[in-house]
């Protein structure tokens, strides 16, 4: 279990707590903090007594969660996009591989095997190399149907990503509204 060591923002006393804790209270002054994690960094959000900040802390928590989900989904979209765009590159590499094998067979027969085996073995070897290369290309390459499935999956994830980004923007605007009006306005709106 990893222990986080920091200081209290109120009294500067040492704070130590396990990484998986959600809330921390300073033993010296009693200040309460919500623990937020994002990209491996730990942030402490001060919780005000009486719960005036608790809704704001939930909002911050939801924003951090949305940021993580958006980052993960963006990575998935990029992986799918790279697979989708990799199909032409795979084709080029496969053709180059067959071409290289044909050149190797030609070089071998020109230098060594032609005088020993004759021309018919040369042509048979070329035919075998081309057929095996074509079969291997057919097995390894991404089909049009697979590319279409990748495209559809990417478009679905991009739509979900757009929805999440829209939700994140809405929550950020809500946070700005709460901050600009002050804690008293948010208490009044909540029926306080």
Residue pLDDT, tens place only, 132-153: 888 887 777 777 788 889 899 9
Residue pLDDT, tens place only, 108-131: 877 777 667 777 777 888 888 888
Any long-range contacts for 129-132 (C-beta under 8 Å, 24+ apart)? 129/98, 129/101, 129/102, 129/105, 130/98, 130/102
* 101 or 50: which leads in pLDDT: 101
**Is the pTM higher than 0.75?**
no
Write down the residue that tokens 């980052």 correspond to. 71
Q: Tell me the CA end-to-end span of the chain in Å, nearest whole number.
A: 41
Write down the residue that tokens 């909002």 correspond to. 59
**What is the structure's pLDDT at 187?**
44
* 101 or 153: which leads in pLDDT: 153
Q: Is the pLDDT of residue 66 over 50?
A: yes
CA dihedral of residues 172, 177, 183, 185 (deg, nearest 10):
-150
Closest of 150, 151, 168 to residue 71, by C-alpha = 168
As a whole-number percent, the residues of the chain with pLDDT over 70 amount to 86
Closest of 73, 75, 80 to residue 154, by C-alpha = 80
Residue pLDDT, tens place only, 30-63: 788 888 877 777 788 887 654 444 456 677 778 8
Q: Cβ–Cβ contacts within 10 Å for residue 103, how many?
A: 11
Residue pLDDT, tens place only, 158-189: 999 999 999 989 888 887 777 676 544 444 44
Radius of gyration of the chain (CA): 31
Two tokens at 188?
């009044």
């Amino acid at each position: 279990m990893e222990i986080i060591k920091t200081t209290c923002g109120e009294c500067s006393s040492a704070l130590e707590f396990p990484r998986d804790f959600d809330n921390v209270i300073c033993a010296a002054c009693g200040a309460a903090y919500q623990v937020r994690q994002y990209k491996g960094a730990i942030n402490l959000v001060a919780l005000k007594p009486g719960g005036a900040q608790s809704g704001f802390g939930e909002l911050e928590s939801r924003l951090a969660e949305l940021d993580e989900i958006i980052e993960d989904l963006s990575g998935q979209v990029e992986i799918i996009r790279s697979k989708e765009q990799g199909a032409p590159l795979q084709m080029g590499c496969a053709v180059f591989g067959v071409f290289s094998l044909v050149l190797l067979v030609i070089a071998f027969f020109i230098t060594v095997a032609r005088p020993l085996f004759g021309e018919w073995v040369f042509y048979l070897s070329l035919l075998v190399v081309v057929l095996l290369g074509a079969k291997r290309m057919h097995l390894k390459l991404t089909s049009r149907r697979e590319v279409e499935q990748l495209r559809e999956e990417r478009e679905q994830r991009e739509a979900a990503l757009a929805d999440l980004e829209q939700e994140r923007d809405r929550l950020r605007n809500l946070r700005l509204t709460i901050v600009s009006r002050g804690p008293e306005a948010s208490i009044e709106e909540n029926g306080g």
